[in-house]
Structure 1
């Protein structure tokens, strides 16, 4: 069924002209489609959209290199209420259908948030179907006392809403007595005086009363109870009804990260729990409410959290996905933040989506990272891999990412800062980037247009917009490779979620990206994943459910979606269900090699715990280990074997599963398998240039270098021997390269030209002319310069305040052309440049190191050079705030800075702008 769903995606694919230098070699780079291009979240502020502006904006996005938009209605701008359109109204549906139709004519796709703002909710969600929380009240009684007052919820906001679901009395010895049958309709408790100290626990199903955050007009209302199938059905019925006779051609329906705060319950949870675990949670309400950190409390809460996970999986995630499939669409889901097994939740939808929030620190020389302009949070690559792992394990061809959220302070995000951040998510397995984001802004709204408060502002009003095809072209070429074939990872690693669920602290356990210091980073699972990746291993994570559906053989472990891994690694964990343990050992019986760091010590949960413990001991006792040396023990199990080793690297070496030693050079990589051939995407995020021979695992007849920055390619210097292929690579700090390692020799392709020893420089010492061409607030007068410098150093106030484009022109002399390469080095660029030499476009240099090969553009004698530079929006916004020019006036959150304080750029220091240099051409 799912394979058919993904055929739908191809309807949005388009044959497209690739970047410069690619069009004549269609077989070198994979075909460019709408899916290989980056997409963007498209904020519809107040739903104040119209056909004229939709068409105009979509065309601009397509010209900038975007492959699609994700429509997300949001709060609106003050003063434009007359343009607002209610969500899902007939007029709104007309706008959505016009968007889908127009996008299709442009070769673009359209996704849609199944709601407005976040999380799911709206006017169709009445109190009964709203997000629910467990409320527990206690009554302490001394001998001879009874509960005199009516059993009613104390919270005034919950009165008339909360429903009593359990009433249990505990005596001094811990004996529990169910009192629910003794409560009348008015809440009066008919009980006998207690004979010992007693505590009565009343459990109510209350409501969080959370409403949709940042809702658009027509989307306001209570947040959905995601644990309830009937509530989910009510929520989706509004869409089904609105679609009658006007169903939109939406590729994928989107659900944002789970931010349903305090939603710890659902009215049917007691019954589902008893069905799942065989005992009545009502009789353990004291343990569920307890703050004591003892074993029983941990076991009860583990069972409760597992039940929540299953309810979220079946009642919402699968239910919503089935609904989308009925519309011949697919689903795209951010599972993180959910109180459930992230791998199963991600794996159930069609496109698992992670997100980056904040910025990472990279040691790339010249890469700006001002502490005042970044959030104190770093995207974690292991966290990102939960989405990609679920995608790989479950055979999902696309893994997406909400990208660049709060990368920097508003108006200060450069493309150079975007590049290593997006490369990090590529290395984590993402192959379908969504910008966060682009705000719909009508043509009549002055600079900077309508803007969303947490976005990187990838909008046509951005002064960097004219160079967006540079960044987008790079992403497109990389994604065309990372969407080809299949992920090629050796290791499947078990995620021991029951160790996390068994923690006695708290109630529900959302697996949120901002809480990874609690549930992820301290674990042996995390530490081993980081260590093995640094050693050169490629890893995906597997849930208990995924392992139960997998099969083993002599070649490894194959998942239900036919993803093949050389081994399964089980990191140190305490809790493991016997069903999971038996599934793991079954893989070995079928021929696979399974590696345990340590054997599990216990079983999770409360029901029949002694019986299950005895069964686990019996299973483990059947493993007869003998020493295999180097701290590795081996037990033969059926046609395969189980290895036991504290040092997982030693066990992998013993199992003859080699790491990619190329990481010893400092390079990072991700690998794709295309019919036995391999793509290696390499990134240099070190502080130094790398020029060395790296070994690839495998014997290949040829290796082709493919430069995703320029689209250039050529046969690399390579040699195969002893199961390895050594390849020479050269990457400056901040550069990336793709290797295509083929089992067949390549003919008709020129050799890659390496840069050998520098033999001198061509000086660009002639005067420069600087002409400002577009931007504001005032376009500065042209300048004559002896040397390039920042616009803020020109002695011109208009240039200090200016955001836009400046064009530098000059001439230089080439005495005589020689054999070899010529590299133009622009030095410092703030922030992006487009270069022409002798009236021929060289390309967009949009990121560090701002170098490009230019030998084919040069001629003997006088040469002309033109360099068009775009700067940031920051200086113009500073000017506007200093002059108290109103540009932000929104309902809801209005506009905040990176620390969620009121935004004010008036005290900013002007940002360096333009071509700083030094500019030179180096001969090799």
Structure 2
């Protein structure tokens, strides 16, 4: 080597040395910076909360205390919303002068504290409306009434005004009505189209909470979708609009026969601000009309923007938030005919009668028109509502965040892709709806668009009113979300506490939410859990997500992405990905951004994919098929069958000929082969036939198992696996590092051999503490790294692989993540325990041994909720240079450890231990352990004599309507929060131990 180097010119040596120093120095700098951030994570990845206000119950002083309490526990952002749910109205009307001043106060205080505020797009949580929205500028339906008449005579009849088409979700009545057209059709033609309310966008029920809601509508060319009956031809329809007088009276010479007169007009959908503060209940603004949206904002955010100017850029009011889509669907707006003609290329008026459920010309023609109608409405929503919102936000220095589910008629992926920060929502796995699909959608959008942040409204709940959740109970689901790619947690919900600290747990958001607020018993200790989420989120924001499979959704709207049933591990409300990562992609996203590089489908600045799976639809527009053909020609690999037709009437019937010609060229033929085949086209490959053609099963995609077989044939190794399939994973990749998040999915200790599709220097990073350590016990196999790992219940790590040394084949037997610890001392005997008398507990009491509070004979201990302090002095003869830990054994529910006056931190999860090396000393050691339980015990105690109904509570400042409440001795909360309180006995509480001093 020396001989070789001596022959290199001096300048070359210098350049080589500079390059080496630069490359590895840059790598080491990056590594060092990330490690420092891991120890002390930045606020950009810190969690946030929904800060909910209850219908006029606001307090300036308590708003400041709310914000300060958030800052103290590591919350860096919030979403500001006000609703009317389950509590009496307060004295401050939404958007009154006093309310506006309080909002300005919140912004200024957030600026002072470095907290970001995102304001919702309207009152309530689910839309953009208010009493200032006129019926003319609200969401509309094309509605109709029907009147049967006999012909061969002059008809003089007043036609009934069509009724408003409200749903159980939207029923705000309004007399507004304007005529559109009047038709006469043969009485023999009856409504026959199945699911017309969905297909004509009269209804879009919540996919998450109402059974049998379709994630997507059937292929419009996929067969009969009518229940018999005569088909209406254009020649059968007589337009008699000109024969109706302004008062609705029809004067018309009817031809011979039996006729049905259909009067069609526009009315409001009934969608309203919900659940809204009472003063601002009103109609939702038109989601297809930017002028209507602009006028709504002029009465709302424009006023507040002026009041809060000037604003800081990095704190205070920084965002504009559109929460879960709950406004439902609309199928009419001003100028829709002209927009339809411009976008679809033909006049929709001859097909208006399909709105009534009747078949026009043919079943397939009717279904295609309805597909075109939904597509046109989707485009108008995206352009005139969501894109407009983004431009508006940016013009005012705000970012746009969007939750694109739940009644969205425009397609979740396309609507969410417009956001600066996409958000999901998931409910507590024990207390709410199953919405894992929304997480898959949001992470897919971020992975495809390359946006580093995936926000989520987390742990929403509908009956968690017994204050049952706490950090440890939520760790499993937290890790599930992190593994899927959520990296900004926004807890639902921090209800504003206008009643102050004297009244706890205090005001809640009716019966909703996980009570993530300063009224919680364990709030002073929650920062440790927040820091875990902060560290983990920061790591999951690095680089790009690694996914191998891209699922293309069908064209059309509405559209909810769900993968094949077998693509997820069954795990109740929190199913996990297995072996490979995957994402969903809309046709629009594919056509706008997808390229091919080195045989992979690539989204510039975002993720890349080994293979794309097409949906089992027989229709596809020529534009989408052309894009797919181009990708395959450039080297892409796809799974799927050829389309036969277009779903649209645009350029019909020539569009079908285009699709058929392109499909035959790409696949070679249209009929699927009996066995799976591989077709080469250009530089790419198509896999189809055999078991891949499973349209008869009703599945949208081929099974995940069949896709895995193809990936195996392509020599794409499994991304991650664990020997006993008990470990979930997420994978990110930077220029110099692979980052895996791995977590035990069980509540048992697990010893697993884990296989990672990565090479390099492996390290284990502990998100609970910020520590990092080298892993030396590993081996390489077929390009992957095998590492034996041990996990406590629900324990999680990051495993990183640095690229600076990929030739290492070290197999030394030294476990990298699990420190072998030996007992030093079990702390037996009595403890001095101090409870807070304000919560009914004894100020000082001796426990002769550790015990559950609920088994104690003292009622103040048995029903205690809050923080209690355990104190004990123990002797230690000698201290060596080993690491020492206090192991708490069993804790209900969270604990802070102090030794010799030094606060060592909070223990909130397994293995329920904390390092004490820096505070431990020879001789006497003063140990203090503060333990917090949940509110259930004291709430239960306050429902029983002698503590039940002993207080009268009334707020003379107008809070809670100034009403008087009878309540228990120590607790007070709003009555709606107690409706589902079903507990008959208190929960296990306190430090149960055994408490041990251990060392490695």
**TM-score bucket of the superposed structures, by smaller chain:** 0.7 to 0.9
Q: How does 1:533-612 map to 2 (within 5 A)?
A: 534-549=577-592, 550-559=594-603, 562-593=606-637, 595-612=638-655
Counterpart among 675, 697, 712 of residue 735 in structure 2: 675
Residue 466 of structure 1 pairs with residue 524 of structure 2: yes
Aligned to 2:909: 847
Contact residue 544 and residue 606 of structure 2 kept, 8 A: no
Flag the 1:656–1:577 CA change in 2: closer, same or farther, 3 A: farther
Contact residue 835 and residue 841 of structure 1 kept, 8 A: yes
Please give the alpha-carbon distance, in whole angstroms, between the structure 2 residues aligned to 1:194 and 1:818. Answer: 107
Residue 769 of structure 1 pairs with residue 801 of structure 2: no
Residue 420 of structure 1 pairs with residue 476 of structure 2: yes
Secondary structure of the 2:263 match is strand
Contact residue 272 and residue 327 of structure 2 kept, 8 A: no
Flag the 1:887–1:358 CA change in 2: closer, same or farther, 3 A: farther
Aligned to 1:450: 507
Secondary structure of the 1:27 match is helix
Counterpart among 979, 989, 992 of residue 903 in structure 1: 979
Q: How does 1:345-384 map to 2 (within 5 A)?
A: 345-359=415-429, 374-375=431-432, 377-380=433-436, 382-384=437-439
Give unpaired runs (5+ residues) of structure 1.
1-21, 361-373, 502-508, 512-518
Secondary structure of the 2:117 match is strand
Please give the alpha-carbon distance, in whole angstroms, between the structure 2 residues aligned to 1:620 and 1:684. Answer: 46
Please give the alpha-carbon distance, in whole angstroms, between the structure 1 residues aligned to 2:338 and 2:784. Answer: 58
Counterpart among 431, 455, 459 of residue 400 in structure 1: 455
Please give the alpha-carbon distance, in whole angstroms, between the structure 2 residues aligned to 1:214 and 1:298. Answer: 35
Flag the 1:149–1:802 CA change in 2: closer, same or farther, 3 A: farther
Rg comparison, structure with higher value: 2
Please give the alpha-carbon distance, in whole angstroms, between the structure 2 residues aligned to 1:921 and 1:69. Answer: 40
Secondary structure of the 1:29 match is helix
Counterpart among 652, 658, 661 of residue 615 in structure 1: 658
- Displacement of 1:170 after TM fit? 2.8
Please give the alpha-carbon distance, in whole angstroms, between the structure 2 residues aligned to 1:913 and 1:133. Answer: 56
Aligned to 1:325: 394
Flag the 1:696–1:215 CA change in 2: closer, same or farther, 3 A: same
Aligned to 2:183: 168
- Displacement of 1:920 after TM fit? 4.2
Contact residue 143 and residue 163 of structure 2 kept, 8 A: no
Flag the 1:619–1:413 CA change in 2: closer, same or farther, 3 A: same
Please give the alpha-carbon distance, in whole angstroms, between the structure 2 residues aligned to 1:394 and 1:33. Answer: 23
Secondary structure of the 2:79 match is strand
Flag the 1:579–1:24 CA change in 2: closer, same or farther, 3 A: closer
Deviations 1:188-219, CA, capped at 9 Å, x for gaps: 33433233343333322111334322323653
Aligned to 1:252: 319
Contact residue 766 and residue 812 of structure 1 kept, 8 A: no
Residue 132 of structure 1 pairs with residue 140 of structure 2: yes
Deviations 1:812-849, CA, capped at 9 Å, x for gaps: 56677789776644333221111234544443111344
Please give the alpha-carbon distance, in whole angstroms, between the structure 2 residues aligned to 1:146 and 1:419. Answer: 75
Judge which range, 430-439 or 235-244, deviates more.
235-244
- Displacement of 1:147 after TM fit? 5.6
Secondary structure of the 2:409 match is coil
- Displacement of 1:796 after TM fit? 1.2
Aligned to 1:363: none
Secondary structure of the 1:388 match is helix
Aligned to 2:786: 726
Contact residue 253 and residue 331 of structure 1 kept, 8 A: yes
Please give the alpha-carbon distance, in whole angstroms, between the structure 1 residues aligned to 2:34 and 2:733. Answer: 22
Contact residue 764 and residue 798 of structure 2 kept, 8 A: yes
Aligned to 1:3: none
Secondary structure of the 1:536 match is coil
Judge which range, 176-185 or 599-608, deviates more.
599-608
Please give the alpha-carbon distance, in whole angstroms, between the structure 2 residues aligned to 1:832 and 1:146. Answer: 83
Contact residue 409 and residue 897 of structure 1 kept, 8 A: no
Please give the alpha-carbon distance, in whole angstroms, between the structure 1 residues aligned to 2:308 and 2:121. Answer: 16
Counterpart among 678, 685, 710 of residue 641 in structure 1: 685
Residue 785 of structure 1 pairs with residue 842 of structure 2: no
Contact residue 40 and residue 68 of structure 1 kept, 8 A: yes
Flag the 1:535–1:65 CA change in 2: closer, same or farther, 3 A: closer
Aligned to 1:11: none
Aligned to 2:24: none
- Displacement of 1:906 after TM fit? 7.6
Flag the 1:28–1:434 CA change in 2: closer, same or farther, 3 A: closer
Contact residue 690 and residue 730 of structure 1 kept, 8 A: yes
Q: TM-score, normalised by structure 1?
A: 0.85
- Displacement of 1:76 after TM fit? 8.8
Contact residue 533 and residue 539 of structure 1 kept, 8 A: no
Flag the 1:641–1:199 CA change in 2: closer, same or farther, 3 A: same
Aligned to 2:768: 709
Please give the alpha-carbon distance, in whole angstroms, between the structure 1 residues aligned to 2:917 and 2:55. Answer: 52
Aligned to 1:917: 993
Secondary structure of the 2:49 match is strand
Contact residue 777 and residue 803 of structure 1 kept, 8 A: yes
Contact residue 876 and residue 923 of structure 2 kept, 8 A: yes
Q: How does 1:451-530 map to 2 (within 5 A)?
A: 451-453=508-510, 454-498=512-556, 501=557, 525=564, 527-528=566-567
Judge which range, 271-280 or 314-323, deviates more.
271-280
Residue 105 of structure 1 pairs with residue 120 of structure 2: no
- Displacement of 1:224 after TM fit? 1.8
Please give the alpha-carbon distance, in whole angstroms, between the structure 2 residues aligned to 1:899 and 1:168. Answer: 54
Please give the alpha-carbon distance, in whole angstroms, between the structure 2 residues aligned to 1:903 and 1:886. Answer: 19
Aligned to 1:437: 493
Counterpart among 301, 304, 318 of residue 370 in structure 2: 301
Aligned to 1:833: 895
Number of residue-to-residue matches in the alignment: 862
Contact residue 110 and residue 252 of structure 1 kept, 8 A: yes
Aligned to 1:755: 818
Please give the alpha-carbon distance, in whole angstroms, between the structure 1 residues aligned to 2:615 and 2:952. Answer: 56
Contact residue 140 and residue 268 of structure 2 kept, 8 A: yes
Please give the alpha-carbon distance, in whole angstroms, between the structure 2 residues aligned to 1:619 and 1:816. Answer: 82
- Displacement of 1:863 after TM fit? 4.8
- Displacement of 1:327 after TM fit? 0.2
Give unpaired runs (5+ residues) of structure 2.
1-30, 165-171, 189-230, 693-705, 809-813
Flag the 1:305–1:147 CA change in 2: closer, same or farther, 3 A: farther
Secondary structure of the 1:623 match is helix
Please give the alpha-carbon distance, in whole angstroms, between the structure 1 residues aligned to 2:636 and 2:248. Answer: 60
Flag the 1:816–1:405 CA change in 2: closer, same or farther, 3 A: same
Residue 276 of structure 1 pairs with residue 338 of structure 2: no
Aligned to 1:177: 238
Flag the 1:445–1:866 CA change in 2: closer, same or farther, 3 A: closer
Contact residue 552 and residue 589 of structure 1 kept, 8 A: no
Residue 64 of structure 1 pairs with residue 62 of structure 2: no
Q: How does 1:685-700 map to 2 (within 5 A)?
A: 685-700=745-760
Contact residue 881 and residue 906 of structure 1 kept, 8 A: no
